[in-house]
Structure 1
Amino acid sequence: MQRKIIVLPYDPRWPAAFAAEAEHIRTALGAVAIDIHHIGSTSVPGLAAKPLIDILLAARSLDELDSFDGALVELGYEPMGEFGIPGRRFYRKGGNENRSHHIHAFQACSSVGDAALMRHLAFRDYLSANSTIAKEYGALKKQLAAAHPDNIEDYMNGKHAFIQEHQAKALQSPLND
């Protein structure tokens, strides 16, 4: 069963939910987890979002991270491999009806990993610093969720151009220096 796409107003409890989950992940992965960041719409104060915590994990090694899949399974995550993005490891927590977290893991100190880490963090910081653009993004997401409540692909495709445009601006922003 496909889950409904629901975009909610910003919830000030999201940062604490991230922090608690990040601590569990740090404990499970130890030194493999070089850094853990809160990304995605729930990380941007005031931004409407699907109630799903996106986590960016900088890993010492993807091969080493793969050996910890069992530890992440114990935390409730489902390992999904690259899931369409080479050089990434993707994990999701919760089933279709109660999905709560995604982990997007990349290998630090690698060209693919460092570019992905920078792109995600720059976009988050850009939206956090530009409330007008964040509001536009929130309105777009609400519109797409209303138009495509049962079709995640159409929802994601509808956001693509906005994300590409503003990621490019974020990477050129002085905030990214």
Structure 2
Amino acid sequence: MQSIREIQLAPYNIEWEKEFTQEADTLTNVISAQILEVHHIGSTAVPGLSAKPIIDLLIVVKDIKKVDTYNQKMEQLGYETKGENGIKDRRYFQKGGNERTHHVHIYEKGHPEINRHIWFRDYLRARPDAAKEYETLKRELAHRYRFEPEKYVENKTNFIHKIDQLALKWRKG
């Protein structure tokens, strides 16, 4: 029987940046021939923001199709291969089973999701008021949907789209 994932937010932890750096170094060694950039994204990349303690890495590669040749190496590192997992031309990996520790999102250079993730993160870093609003929403949803991770994610969607739009305007100056 598979255990149910519980949504638990943790206060911001400065160690998350070190965990990102360590994992980025490990993954760079595995996928070095393809990697162009590695970014820390998601809530653990925003200082001061409470988050599920899962490190999200965004990796930009030269050729997304060649990433599939690394699936076995990723599995040896403890990652579960999820393919596109709902986003065209992405490769997604997760580590830790129901006690997730890392999510890896891999895109080919030029994919629109790259800038969306980075701009979302940067906007929250630059706008503590927006980060606080996001944290308040996440806390409310984590309480309401503690054992329903899909509903937790689904109910953040409108806010995320709002921040995406604000971040796009902000980036354009």
Superposition TM-score tier, normalisation by shorter sequence:
over 0.9
Matched, 1:13 2:42: no
- Calculate percent identity across the aligned residue pairs: 39
Q: Hey, what's the Cα distance between the residues in 2 that align with 1:116 and 1:68?
A: 21
What is the distance in 1 between the residues matched to 2:138 and 2:160? Answer: 11
Cross-structure match for 2:107: 106
Q: CA deviation at 1:141?
A: 0.4
Deviation by residue 1:124-148 (Cα, 9 ceiling, x = unmatched): 0000000011011011101100000
Superposed displacement of residue 158, structure 1:
1.2
Shift of 1:2: 1.7
Distance 1:169 1:71 in 2: 38
Over the aligned positions, Cα root-mean-square deviation in angstroms equals 1.1
Aligned to 1:42: 44
* Matched pairs, number: 171
1:152 maps to a residue whose letter is: P
1:148 corresponds in structure 2 to: 145
Structure-to-structure mapping, 1:161-172, within 5 angstroms: 161-172=158-169
* Partner residue, 2:69: 67
**Separation of aligned partners in 2, 1:57 and 1:33:** 7
Unaligned segments of structure 1, at least 5 residues: none
CA offsets per residue over residues 24-60 of structure 1, 9 Å max, x none? 0000111211111000000000011000001101011
Question: For the residues of structure 1 that align with 2:113 and 2:81, how far apart are their CA atoms?
Answer: 19
Which amino acid in 1 is paired with 2:108?
Answer: Q
Structure 2 CA distance for aligned equivalents of residues 160 and 94 of structure 1: 24
Question: Within 2, Cα distance between the matches of 1:63 and 1:42?
Answer: 28
Shift of 1:73: 1.1
Match of 1:55 among 33, 54, 57: 57
The residue number in structure 2 matching 1:81 is: 83
